[in-house]
Amino acid sequence: MTDRTIRVAIESWPLAQPFVIARGAKTEARVIVVTLSQGGVEGRGECVPYARYGETAEATAAAIEAAGAPASHGDLARLLPPGAARNALDCALFDLEAKLAGVPVAQLMKRPEPGARETCFTLSLDTPEAMAEAARQVPQLKLLKLKLGGAGDDERMRMVRAARPDARLVGDANEAWTVELLDPLLAVAAECRFETIEQPLPADDDGALGTRDRPLPICADESAHVASDITALVDRYDAVNIKLDKAGGLTEALAMADAARAAGLDIMAGSMVSTSLGVAPAMLVAQYARWVDLDGPLLLAKDREPGIVIHDGIIEPAQRGLWG
Protein backbone atom coordinates (compact mmCIF):
# COMPACT_ATOMS: atom_id res chain seq x y z
CA MET A 1 0.00 0.00 0.00
CA THR A 2 1.82 3.07 -1.26
CA ASP A 3 -0.41 5.48 0.67
CA ARG A 4 -0.05 3.71 4.03
CA THR A 5 2.12 5.60 6.52
CA ILE A 6 3.36 4.93 10.03
CA ARG A 7 4.07 6.96 13.15
CA VAL A 8 5.84 5.62 16.24
CA ALA A 9 5.81 7.27 19.66
CA ILE A 10 7.28 6.32 23.05
CA GLU A 11 4.98 7.33 25.92
CA SER A 12 5.30 7.22 29.73
CA TRP A 13 2.25 6.73 31.94
CA PRO A 14 2.81 7.17 35.71
CA LEU A 15 1.45 4.42 37.97
CA ALA A 16 -0.87 5.09 40.89
CA GLN A 17 1.69 3.40 43.14
CA PRO A 18 4.89 1.40 42.58
CA PHE A 19 4.36 -1.99 40.92
CA VAL A 20 6.63 -4.59 42.49
CA ILE A 21 7.36 -8.14 41.35
CA ALA A 22 10.17 -10.59 42.12
CA ARG A 23 12.39 -9.04 39.41
CA GLY A 24 12.06 -5.42 40.50
CA ALA A 25 9.81 -2.37 40.76
CA LYS A 26 8.48 0.25 38.35
CA THR A 27 6.72 3.58 38.79
CA GLU A 28 5.58 4.14 35.22
CA ALA A 29 4.35 2.20 32.23
CA ARG A 30 6.62 2.94 29.27
CA VAL A 31 4.71 2.04 26.13
CA ILE A 32 5.09 2.41 22.39
CA VAL A 33 2.14 3.51 20.27
CA VAL A 34 2.08 2.78 16.55
CA THR A 35 -0.34 4.64 14.27
CA LEU A 36 -0.95 3.36 10.74
CA SER A 37 -2.71 5.77 8.38
CA GLN A 38 -4.38 5.11 5.05
CA GLY A 39 -6.85 7.26 3.14
CA GLY A 40 -7.49 9.50 6.14
CA VAL A 41 -8.19 6.52 8.45
CA GLU A 42 -5.95 5.67 11.41
CA GLY A 43 -5.37 2.40 13.24
CA ARG A 44 -3.47 2.21 16.51
CA GLY A 45 -1.63 -0.44 18.49
CA GLU A 46 0.31 -0.35 21.76
CA CYS A 47 3.11 -2.51 23.10
CA VAL A 48 5.21 -2.73 26.27
CA PRO A 49 8.87 -3.71 25.74
CA TYR A 50 9.98 -6.05 28.54
CA ALA A 51 13.54 -6.20 29.88
CA ARG A 52 13.06 -9.90 30.82
CA TYR A 53 13.18 -10.61 27.09
CA GLY A 54 15.99 -8.17 26.31
CA GLU A 55 13.68 -5.45 24.99
CA THR A 56 14.02 -1.69 25.48
CA ALA A 57 11.67 1.06 24.36
CA GLU A 58 14.27 2.64 22.10
CA ALA A 59 15.30 -0.59 20.37
CA THR A 60 11.68 -1.65 19.95
CA ALA A 61 10.71 1.68 18.41
CA ALA A 62 13.68 1.44 16.05
CA ALA A 63 12.65 -2.08 14.99
CA ILE A 64 9.12 -0.88 14.25
CA GLU A 65 10.37 2.03 12.17
CA ALA A 66 12.73 -0.24 10.26
CA ALA A 67 9.88 -2.66 9.49
CA GLY A 68 7.66 0.15 8.24
CA ALA A 69 3.94 -0.03 7.47
CA PRO A 70 3.09 -3.70 6.74
CA ALA A 71 0.89 -4.65 3.83
CA SER A 72 -0.52 -7.68 5.67
CA HIS A 73 -0.24 -9.72 8.86
CA GLY A 74 1.67 -12.37 6.95
CA ASP A 75 4.22 -9.81 5.80
CA LEU A 76 4.56 -8.58 9.36
CA ALA A 77 5.32 -12.07 10.67
CA ARG A 78 8.12 -12.33 8.13
CA LEU A 79 9.54 -8.91 9.01
CA LEU A 80 9.69 -9.21 12.82
CA PRO A 81 10.07 -12.00 15.40
CA PRO A 82 7.50 -12.52 18.16
CA GLY A 83 7.68 -9.77 20.75
CA ALA A 84 6.58 -6.25 21.56
CA ALA A 85 7.43 -4.61 18.23
CA ARG A 86 5.39 -7.07 16.21
CA ASN A 87 2.51 -6.78 18.67
CA ALA A 88 2.11 -3.03 18.25
CA LEU A 89 2.14 -3.32 14.46
CA ASP A 90 -0.19 -6.33 14.38
CA CYS A 91 -2.78 -4.62 16.57
CA ALA A 92 -2.51 -1.32 14.69
CA LEU A 93 -3.04 -3.18 11.42
CA PHE A 94 -6.15 -4.90 12.78
CA ASP A 95 -7.54 -1.58 13.99
CA LEU A 96 -6.89 0.02 10.59
CA GLU A 97 -8.44 -2.91 8.68
CA ALA A 98 -11.54 -2.88 10.89
CA LYS A 99 -12.07 0.85 10.38
CA LEU A 100 -11.53 0.63 6.64
CA ALA A 101 -14.01 -2.27 6.41
CA GLY A 102 -16.50 -0.73 8.83
CA VAL A 103 -16.78 -3.91 10.92
CA PRO A 104 -15.33 -4.99 14.29
CA VAL A 105 -12.03 -6.88 14.41
CA ALA A 106 -13.81 -9.94 15.83
CA GLN A 107 -16.01 -10.10 12.73
CA LEU A 108 -13.00 -9.69 10.44
CA MET A 109 -11.31 -12.64 12.18
CA LYS A 110 -14.48 -14.73 12.45
CA ARG A 111 -14.07 -14.88 16.21
CA PRO A 112 -16.63 -14.44 19.02
CA GLU A 113 -17.48 -10.84 19.78
CA PRO A 114 -15.89 -9.93 23.13
CA GLY A 115 -18.12 -9.75 26.17
CA ALA A 116 -17.57 -8.47 29.69
CA ARG A 117 -15.32 -10.59 31.93
CA GLU A 118 -14.08 -10.47 35.50
CA THR A 119 -10.42 -9.46 35.65
CA CYS A 120 -7.79 -10.02 38.31
CA PHE A 121 -6.58 -7.09 40.36
CA THR A 122 -2.87 -7.35 41.11
CA LEU A 123 -1.36 -6.96 44.57
CA SER A 124 2.30 -5.98 44.29
CA LEU A 125 4.95 -8.00 46.12
CA ASP A 126 5.34 -6.67 49.66
CA THR A 127 5.39 -7.87 53.24
CA PRO A 128 2.60 -10.29 54.22
CA GLU A 129 1.00 -7.59 56.37
CA ALA A 130 1.07 -4.97 53.61
CA MET A 131 -0.38 -7.36 51.03
CA ALA A 132 -3.16 -8.39 53.41
CA GLU A 133 -3.99 -4.73 54.01
CA ALA A 134 -3.98 -4.05 50.25
CA ALA A 135 -6.45 -6.90 49.80
CA ARG A 136 -8.72 -5.49 52.52
CA GLN A 137 -8.74 -2.10 50.81
CA VAL A 138 -10.52 -3.43 47.69
CA PRO A 139 -13.49 -5.40 49.08
CA GLN A 140 -15.43 -4.79 45.87
CA LEU A 141 -12.84 -6.74 43.85
CA LYS A 142 -13.35 -10.49 44.09
CA LEU A 143 -10.50 -11.85 41.97
CA LEU A 144 -7.04 -10.98 43.32
CA LYS A 145 -3.63 -11.85 41.89
CA LEU A 146 -0.73 -11.92 44.33
CA LYS A 147 2.78 -11.18 43.14
CA LEU A 148 5.02 -13.65 44.99
CA GLY A 149 8.77 -13.72 45.50
CA GLY A 150 9.95 -16.96 47.12
CA ALA A 151 10.89 -16.88 50.81
CA GLY A 152 7.94 -15.66 52.88
CA ASP A 153 5.32 -16.54 50.28
CA ASP A 154 3.68 -19.00 52.67
CA GLU A 155 2.82 -16.13 55.02
CA ARG A 156 1.85 -13.84 52.15
CA MET A 157 -0.69 -16.39 50.90
CA ARG A 158 -2.04 -17.21 54.34
CA MET A 159 -2.43 -13.60 55.44
CA VAL A 160 -4.16 -12.49 52.25
CA ARG A 161 -6.52 -15.46 52.49
CA ALA A 162 -7.29 -14.58 56.11
CA ALA A 163 -7.90 -10.95 55.11
CA ARG A 164 -10.15 -11.90 52.20
CA PRO A 165 -11.91 -15.22 52.83
CA ASP A 166 -14.44 -14.25 50.15
CA ALA A 167 -11.97 -13.64 47.30
CA ARG A 168 -10.81 -15.84 44.46
CA LEU A 169 -7.01 -15.90 44.55
CA VAL A 170 -4.29 -16.61 42.00
CA GLY A 171 -0.54 -16.27 42.52
CA ASP A 172 2.32 -15.27 40.24
CA ALA A 173 5.87 -16.15 41.32
CA ASN A 174 7.57 -14.67 38.23
CA GLU A 175 10.15 -17.51 38.23
CA ALA A 176 11.21 -16.73 41.84
CA TRP A 177 10.69 -20.15 43.49
CA THR A 178 13.29 -22.88 43.73
CA VAL A 179 12.79 -26.61 43.42
CA GLU A 180 13.27 -26.86 47.20
CA LEU A 181 10.46 -24.34 47.83
CA LEU A 182 8.13 -25.81 45.22
CA ASP A 183 6.34 -28.57 47.15
CA PRO A 184 5.87 -26.74 50.47
CA LEU A 185 4.67 -23.53 48.80
CA LEU A 186 2.30 -25.37 46.46
CA ALA A 187 0.87 -27.13 49.51
CA VAL A 188 0.20 -23.77 51.16
CA ALA A 189 -1.36 -22.43 47.97
CA ALA A 190 -3.73 -25.41 47.89
CA GLU A 191 -4.49 -24.96 51.61
CA CYS A 192 -5.36 -21.31 50.95
CA ARG A 193 -7.63 -22.22 48.01
CA PHE A 194 -5.56 -20.57 45.30
CA GLU A 195 -6.92 -21.37 41.84
CA THR A 196 -3.52 -21.38 40.12
CA ILE A 197 0.13 -20.48 40.63
CA GLU A 198 1.81 -18.86 37.65
CA GLN A 199 5.38 -19.66 36.58
CA PRO A 200 6.82 -20.83 39.94
CA LEU A 201 10.17 -21.97 38.50
CA PRO A 202 12.52 -20.32 35.98
CA ALA A 203 11.58 -21.03 32.39
CA ASP A 204 14.88 -22.80 31.72
CA ASP A 205 14.61 -24.93 34.86
CA ASP A 206 10.96 -25.99 35.08
CA GLY A 207 11.41 -29.70 34.41
CA ALA A 208 10.67 -30.51 38.06
CA LEU A 209 7.04 -29.57 37.44
CA GLY A 210 6.66 -32.73 35.38
CA THR A 211 8.02 -35.06 38.07
CA ARG A 212 5.50 -34.55 40.88
CA ASP A 213 1.81 -34.35 41.57
CA ARG A 214 0.50 -30.80 41.40
CA PRO A 215 -2.10 -30.01 44.09
CA LEU A 216 -3.48 -27.11 42.03
CA PRO A 217 -3.15 -25.95 38.41
CA ILE A 218 0.21 -24.48 37.40
CA CYS A 219 0.18 -21.79 34.69
CA ALA A 220 3.06 -21.16 32.28
CA ASP A 221 4.04 -17.58 31.48
CA GLU A 222 7.73 -17.05 30.73
CA SER A 223 7.88 -20.67 29.49
CA ALA A 224 5.43 -20.02 26.64
CA HIS A 225 5.55 -17.29 24.01
CA VAL A 226 4.03 -18.66 20.77
CA ALA A 227 1.75 -21.46 19.59
CA SER A 228 4.63 -23.81 18.81
CA ASP A 229 5.63 -23.74 22.50
CA ILE A 230 2.36 -25.32 23.64
CA THR A 231 3.17 -28.98 22.94
CA ALA A 232 6.17 -28.94 25.29
CA LEU A 233 4.05 -27.63 28.18
CA VAL A 234 1.58 -30.45 28.65
CA ASP A 235 3.70 -32.57 31.04
CA ARG A 236 4.64 -29.60 33.25
CA TYR A 237 1.74 -27.15 33.17
CA ASP A 238 -2.03 -27.13 33.34
CA ALA A 239 -2.58 -23.68 31.84
CA VAL A 240 -0.83 -20.98 29.83
CA ASN A 241 -0.80 -17.20 30.20
CA ILE A 242 -1.22 -15.69 26.73
CA LYS A 243 0.08 -12.13 26.37
CA LEU A 244 0.09 -10.19 23.12
CA ASP A 245 3.51 -8.67 23.85
CA LYS A 246 5.09 -12.13 24.18
CA ALA A 247 3.28 -13.66 21.22
CA GLY A 248 3.86 -10.75 18.87
CA GLY A 249 0.28 -9.64 18.46
CA LEU A 250 -3.31 -10.76 18.31
CA THR A 251 -2.71 -13.08 15.34
CA GLU A 252 -0.28 -15.32 17.22
CA ALA A 253 -2.08 -14.93 20.55
CA LEU A 254 -5.25 -16.42 19.08
CA ALA A 255 -3.21 -19.21 17.49
CA MET A 256 -1.83 -19.91 20.97
CA ALA A 257 -5.36 -20.02 22.37
CA ASP A 258 -6.39 -22.53 19.72
CA ALA A 259 -3.32 -24.68 20.41
CA ALA A 260 -3.84 -24.54 24.18
CA ARG A 261 -7.46 -25.59 23.91
CA ALA A 262 -6.53 -28.45 21.60
CA ALA A 263 -3.89 -29.59 24.12
CA GLY A 264 -6.36 -29.49 27.02
CA LEU A 265 -4.70 -26.54 28.76
CA ASP A 266 -6.61 -23.78 30.49
CA ILE A 267 -5.91 -20.19 29.43
CA MET A 268 -5.10 -17.01 31.30
CA ALA A 269 -5.47 -13.86 29.20
CA GLY A 270 -2.75 -11.54 30.47
CA SER A 271 -0.93 -8.35 29.60
CA MET A 272 1.93 -6.16 30.70
CA VAL A 273 1.18 -2.98 32.68
CA SER A 274 -0.24 -0.82 29.90
CA THR A 275 -2.97 1.63 29.01
CA SER A 276 -6.38 0.60 27.77
CA LEU A 277 -5.08 0.63 24.19
CA GLY A 278 -2.73 -2.25 25.04
CA VAL A 279 -5.45 -4.21 26.83
CA ALA A 280 -8.29 -3.80 24.31
CA PRO A 281 -7.13 -6.39 21.72
CA ALA A 282 -6.55 -8.98 24.47
CA MET A 283 -10.30 -9.02 25.12
CA LEU A 284 -10.59 -11.30 22.07
CA VAL A 285 -8.28 -13.79 23.82
CA ALA A 286 -10.18 -13.33 27.09
CA GLN A 287 -13.26 -14.98 25.60
CA TYR A 288 -11.39 -18.32 25.71
CA ALA A 289 -9.82 -17.80 29.14
CA ARG A 290 -10.50 -19.37 32.53
CA TRP A 291 -8.72 -16.42 34.15
CA VAL A 292 -8.50 -12.86 32.83
CA ASP A 293 -5.66 -10.63 34.04
CA LEU A 294 -6.09 -7.34 32.19
CA ASP A 295 -6.02 -4.85 35.05
CA GLY A 296 -3.18 -2.70 33.69
CA PRO A 297 -5.37 0.42 33.32
CA LEU A 298 -6.41 0.16 36.98
CA LEU A 299 -2.76 0.45 38.02
CA LEU A 300 -2.23 3.80 36.26
CA ALA A 301 -2.55 7.21 37.87
CA LYS A 302 -4.49 8.23 34.74
CA ASP A 303 -5.55 6.19 31.70
CA ARG A 304 -5.97 7.01 28.04
CA GLU A 305 -9.30 8.52 26.93
CA PRO A 306 -11.53 6.96 25.93
CA GLY A 307 -10.40 4.11 28.16
CA ILE A 308 -11.66 0.62 28.63
CA VAL A 309 -14.32 0.43 31.36
CA ILE A 310 -13.53 -1.65 34.46
CA HIS A 311 -16.11 -1.44 37.24
CA ASP A 312 -15.91 -3.54 40.40
CA GLY A 313 -13.53 -5.89 38.61
CA ILE A 314 -15.68 -6.37 35.50
CA ILE A 315 -13.86 -5.34 32.33
CA GLU A 316 -15.94 -4.32 29.32
CA PRO A 317 -15.01 -4.63 25.63
CA ALA A 318 -13.29 -1.62 24.10
CA GLN A 319 -15.31 1.34 22.89
CA ARG A 320 -15.05 2.05 19.18
CA GLY A 321 -13.04 5.21 19.76
CA LEU A 322 -10.33 3.20 21.50
CA TRP A 323 -9.59 0.18 19.29
CA GLY A 324 -11.12 -2.41 17.02
Q: Which residues are catalytic?
A: 147, 243
Report how far apart the first and last C-alpha atoms of the chain are (Å, whole number): 20
DSSP 246: H
In this structure, are residues 240 and 230 in contact, taking their beta carbons and an 8 Å threshold?
A: yes
CA trace torsion 19, 25, 27, 32 (10° rounding): -90
Order of all β-strands in the sheet with 24-38: 5-21, 24-38, 41-47
Q: How many CB atoms lie within 10 A of CB 84?
A: 31
Instruction: State how far the Cα of 156 lies from the Cα of 124, in Å rounded to an integer.
Output: 11
Please choose, from the candidates 303, 309, 295, the residue with its C-alpha nearest in 3D space to the C-alpha of residue 142: 295
* Sign for the pseudo-dihedral over CA of 223, 230, 57, 170: negative
